[in-house]
Amino acid sequence: MNSVYKYYGCFKYLCVVFLVKVNRVFPPLDTYNTVPDFDKWTLDPEASYVYYCANETVHGVEFNDIPDTKGVPIVADMSSNILTRRVDISKYGVIYAGAQKNMGCSGVTLVIIREDLLASPSPLCPTFMEYKTQAANQSIYNTPPVWNIYVMGEVFRWVQNSGGVPAMEKMSEKKSKIIYEVIDNSKGFYWNPVDKKSRSRINVPVRMTGPDGNQEIEALFLQQAEAKGMLSLKGHRSVGGLRISLFNAISVEDTITLRDFMIQFREDQLDITN
């Protein structure tokens, strides 16, 4: 692993607001269903960093490429897709990821940071939240969540024994292909709002019978799915519908079970309407 990077894994979640000058690289979108082309971004060459979330879980949008920021450090939130694909960490200044999606249980965050970015923290930053402080104290400046870190280690061991990140990437691609094929072959019964080039492999939002959805049919789908032991398929409250999450803990076999249910449910509903 590149020696100019260090890894820190014991930061507890905290909500702190800092006063910073923000430059939006493009105006707010009417609908969040794509990643705008990088050549349309308005980047500030004097920026301290460029931030983006690599996989947006609510709307199901994922970055499949890395923006060229002309040397400005990139800070990326990879909470929901870390360990699901290989990443060239030399392209980033900071990568951080909450453990609760693909690495373990909530309460611990993995941070990968370039060593030259450890210097000169903002004077607004509390001492215990400075990466420099955490690095100097081997990530135990404050009491670490020991159980959470232990669980994380067990998940890392499982990933390694399963073939490492390349195997997880292959599995992720296979699972998402299974679900998207059902959607694309359903003749509009299942509908995914995301531009195909930006579709998330991890979080697949679904509406039924059209972009606005059919709440009655969606509720029936959730009810029948839950009766078969398939839980947490309800979409985020801000967008409604369904959301299929394909984190590493979901196996290909699990995905096939859901696929078969989706196909059968569609056939049953078409039989009723016909």
164-218 tens-digit pLDDT: 999 999 999 999 999 999 999 999 999 999 999 999 999 999 999 988 999 999 9
**Confidence tier at 220 by pLDDT (50, 70, 90):** very high
Q: Is the pLDDT of residue 7 over 70?
A: no
Per the CB < 8 A criterion, the answer to whether 9 and 110 are in contact is: yes
The CA distance from 223 to 29, in Å, is: 33
Which tens digit of pLDDT belongs to each residue from 102-153? Answer: 999 999 999 999 999 998 777 888 888 899 999 999 999 999 999 999 999 9
- To 5 degrees, how large is the angle CA 9–CA 11–CA 12? 130
Q: What single-letter amino acid sits at 223?
A: Q
Distance CA 41, CA 56 (A): 18
Q: Can you say whether the dihedral through the CA atoms of 95, 100, 105, 106 is positive or negative?
A: positive
- Separation of alpha carbons 105 and 262, rounded Å: 29
Evaluate if pTM is beyond 0.85: yes
